[in-house]
Structures are given as structure tokens and as C-alpha cells.
Amino acid sequence: MTRYRVLHPFDTAGRLARFALGTAADVADAVIRAVTAAVVDRMDLDELVARVDVNRVAERVDVDRIAARLNVDAVLDRVDLAVLTKSVLEEIDLGRIVRDTGGGMADETVHGLRARSMRADRMVDRIADRLLRRPDIGQGPEQASAVVSVSVPEPPRARTP
């Protein structure tokens, strides 16, 4: 430091003013922190929060931005999937659903197979009756409409020389 700077009154006054302002700012910050802490300690925060309109706050939340920062793998690592799966299966009673739907489908399948086999049996009987040239006895209107016409060619006659 030069002698001029130490003895120059304006320079010294400027340094003192800067020091005083810096110290005053530090003191003001400390006072503000102390006063704010005292005010917050005296306030009923539940009453203050009750005055906040949560829906208005939620409208300003950017969910996409939050979701972009979310680490889904870390969340899934915390979830016990076996316990979760077991509780979901117990809740929806998957066994009962399978029994109910499977039983109904099985009944419908068996009924369909029986009906088809009865129709096939009747058709085989009619074909056999025609091949053996049996007369149609006891056919009702329902059976008469389902008659299958089968043409059987005459066997070739032996030629005589």
C-alpha cells in the first residue's frame, strides 16, 4: 500500500463506508433471520396451511416435469412384486373366475359336441338306410328336411361275349 492511499481521506472514507455497509448487511441478515424465526415460532402453521387453496397450487404443478425426473426402476426396486401379486390375486379371486368361465365353456363345448354327434349319427343312419334300400319310417318334419340325398351308382354288368 502506498503512502498516498493510506493518508488520502476520500480513499479511507470509501473503505470505511464499504466495511460499514458490509457489516450492516451482515447484521441486517442476522436480524431478519432471528425475527423471521421468532414470527414463525409464534404462528400456528396448521391454521396457515388451512388457508392455502391446494387445488390452485396443484394446477401450477408440472406433472410431466416431475415424471421426467422420476427413476421408475428405483421405485420398482422398492416394491415387493411377489406380495403385491399375491394380494391382487386374492382380491380378485382369480381361481373362482377361472372356474366360472371355464366351467361354462366346458358345458357349452360338451353340449355342442353331443348335438353334432347326434346329427352325425342320424346322417350315418340315413346313408345306411339308402344304401341298404330301407324304407324311410317314422321321419318327422324336422328329420325330413335334414335328409341327405346320396346317389349310389348301379354296379356295372358283366358283358357276355
Cell matching residue 87: 394380494
The answer to whether residue 28 is domain-embedded is yes
Cell of residue 72, nine digits = 421408475
Residue 111 domain flag: no
* Domain carrying residue 19: 7-61
* Cβ-Cβ contacts under 8 Å for 126 (sequence gap 6 or more): 147, 148
Give 18-71 pLDDT, tens digit per residue: 878 788 888 888 999 999 999 888 888 888 888 999 899 999 999 899 988 988
Q: Which residue has the cell 319310417?
A: 137
Residue 81 lies in a domain: no
What pLDDT is stored for residue 35 in this prediction?
Answer: 92
Residue-wise pLDDT tens digits, 141-154: 455 444 445 554 55
Task: Tell me whether residue 137 is in a domain.
Answer: no
In a domain, 42, yes or no: yes
3-state secondary structure of 27: helix
Number of structural domains (the chain) is 1
Amino acid at 110: V
In order of 69, 94, 113, 145, the CA distances from 108 in angstroms are: 53, 21, 9, 26
Q: Is residue 12 part of a domain?
A: yes
pLDDT at 31: 92
Question: Could you tell me if residue 17 is inside a domain?
Answer: yes
CB-CB contact of 136 with 129 (8 Å): yes
Q: How do residues 86-117 score in pLDDT, each as one tens digit?
A: 888 778 877 777 777 766 677 788 888 889 98
- pTM greater than the 0.75 cutoff: no
Domain membership of residue 21 (yes or no) is yes
